[in-house]
């Protein structure tokens, strides 16, 4: 059985409630007044309640009618959102922008890019997964996400399509009260290997070992938990500079000058499955990240002479 309740009836209800008369609602909706009256009678019959008191010169909402007006507005907003989303998908917009992002990627840049996406595609749902070493790629391969942001270096994958985004500075650091912090001059690998190194990994570890020096390792799946253990003096590790800049500035962490190699740069990429072109939302996301991450030209100093 078809439901006789229609969106048009709800529009009529709202117009009368806002304008205060059937005739004014008819003018707004470009209908004859008899059609407006018939729509109200049908709505009242469908809902089995009296919506307007017509005893006076102008219709007045009954308590039940007043309670229904806001529900009607909500239903109409949801219907418009549904139609807008359907229009977007008909034009090729993906039903959802699903991203897997390595926590090593700068969160501030990610949020700025997502704000741009929200402005450009206000009806596009976003699903964001933040996960470390190897996990973004696994989400990409099993179809859980359409775009992953991480370093291809950590997995060695050669069958995926990647766009370079940025190099992340990874620097060796240790808590200010750790024994390594008290050593003067450059620190050798032999000295580092005598102390616990805090290493990122996960249950399905890719075996990526760049920067791992010490045979004594504690492994963490969450980079932010690793920071807490780093600050507590449990060991040393290579960390993204942008994540630990505040702790370096206030002296809680110190940089280690490693004799053989004092840190390294880790490239991060926007990655998708080869042969599966990113949708408009994903393409806009990659473009926004590029624009946010491209080097800014140095400010020109004006010659005032």
Domain around 32: 7-90
Give the pLDDT score at 301: 47
Whether pLDDT at 305 is above 70: no
- Do 157 and 174 reside in the same domain of the chain? no
User: Given pLDDT bands bounded at 50, 70 and 90, which one contains residue 300?
Assistant: low
Last residue of a domain, one of 45, 62, 90: 90
Please indicate, yes or no, whether residues 18 and 56 belong to a single structural domain of this protein: yes
The answer to whether residue 85 scores a pLDDT higher than 80 is: no
Do 172 and 253 belong together in one domain? yes
Question: Do 184 and 119 fall within a single domain?
Answer: no
Residue 305 falls inside a structural domain? no
**pLDDT for position 213:** 83
How confident is the model at residue 132, as a pLDDT?
79
Structural domain includes residue 302: no
127 and 81 in a common domain: no
Same domain, 187 and 252: yes
Domain identity same for 244 and 198: yes
Q: Over 80: is that where the pLDDT of 303 sits? A: no
- pTM of the model as a whole: 0.67
Mean pLDDT throughout 281-287? 92
* Residues 35/36/37/40 CA torsion (nearest 10 deg): 120
Q: Is residue 31 situated within a structural domain?
A: yes
For residue 53, what is the domain's CATH number?
1.10.10.10
Residue 116 inside a domain? The answer is yes
pLDDT grade for 1, boundaries at 50, 70 and 90: very low
Residue 85, in any domain of the structure: yes
Task: Read off the pLDDT of residues 212-261 as tens digits, 9 standing for 90 and up.
Answer: 888 889 988 888 899 999 999 999 999 999 999 999 999 999 999 888 77
Quote the percentage of the chain above a pLDDT of 70: 90
The answer to whether the beta carbons of residues 232 and 175 sit under 8 Å apart is yes
Which of 174-183, 214-223, 283-292 has the lowest average pLDDT? Answer: 214-223
pLDDT band at 304 (very low <50, low <70, confident <90, very high): very low
pLDDT digits (tens, 9 = 90+) for 21-79: 888 988 988 889 888 888 888 888 888 889 888 888 888 888 888 888 888 888 888 87
Instruction: Report how many domains make up the chain.
Output: 3
The answer to whether position 18 is within a domain reads yes
Residue 299 resides in a domain: no
CATH number of the domain where residue 274 is located: 3.40.190.10
Q: Which residues pair with 273 in a beta bridge?
A: 160
Q: How many CA atoms lie within 13 A of 271 on its CB side?
A: 28
Note the residue count of the chain: 305
Q: In terms of domains, do 134 and 259 share one?
A: no
Lowest mean pLDDT: which of 79-83, 131-135, 250-254, 300-304? 300-304
């Amino acid at each position: 059985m078809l439901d006789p309740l229609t969106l048009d009836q709800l529009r009529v209800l709202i117009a009368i409630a806002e304008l205060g008369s059937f005739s004014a609602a008819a003018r707004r909706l470009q209908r004859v007044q008899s059609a407006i009256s018939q729509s109200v009678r049908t709505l009242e019959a469908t809902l089995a309640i009296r919506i307007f008191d017509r005893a006076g010169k102008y219709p007045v909402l009954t308590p039940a009618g007043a309670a229904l007006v806001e529900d009607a507005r909500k239903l109409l907003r949801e219907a418009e959102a549904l139609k807008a989303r359907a229009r977007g998908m008909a034009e090729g917009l993906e039903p959802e922008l699903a991203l897997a992002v390595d926590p090593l990627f700068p969160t501030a840049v990610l949020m700025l890019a997502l704000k741009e996406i929200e402005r450009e595609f206000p009806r596009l749902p976003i699903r964001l997964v933040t996960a470390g070493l190897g996990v973004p790629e696994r989400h990409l391969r099993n179809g859980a996400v359409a775009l992953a942001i991480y370093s291809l270096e950590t997995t060695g994958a050669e069958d995926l399509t990647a766009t370079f985004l940025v190099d992340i500075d990874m620097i060796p650091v240790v808590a200010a009260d750790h024994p390594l912090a008290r050593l003067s001059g450059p620190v050798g690998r032999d000295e580092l290997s005598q102390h616990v190194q805090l290493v990122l990994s996960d249950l399905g570890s890719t075996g990526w070992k760049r920067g791992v020096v010490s045979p004594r390792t504690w492994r963490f799946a969450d980079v932010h938990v690793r920071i807490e253990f780093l600050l507590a003096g449990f060991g040393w590790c290579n960390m993204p500079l942008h994540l630990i800049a505040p702790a370096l500035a206030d002296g809680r962490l110190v940089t280690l000058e490693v004799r053989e190699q004092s840190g390294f740069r880790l490239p991060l990429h926007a990655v998708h499955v080869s042969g599966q072109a990113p949708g408009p939302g994903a393409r806009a996301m990659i473009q926004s990240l590029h624009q946010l991450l491209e080097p800014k030209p140095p400010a020109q100093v004006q010659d005032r002479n």
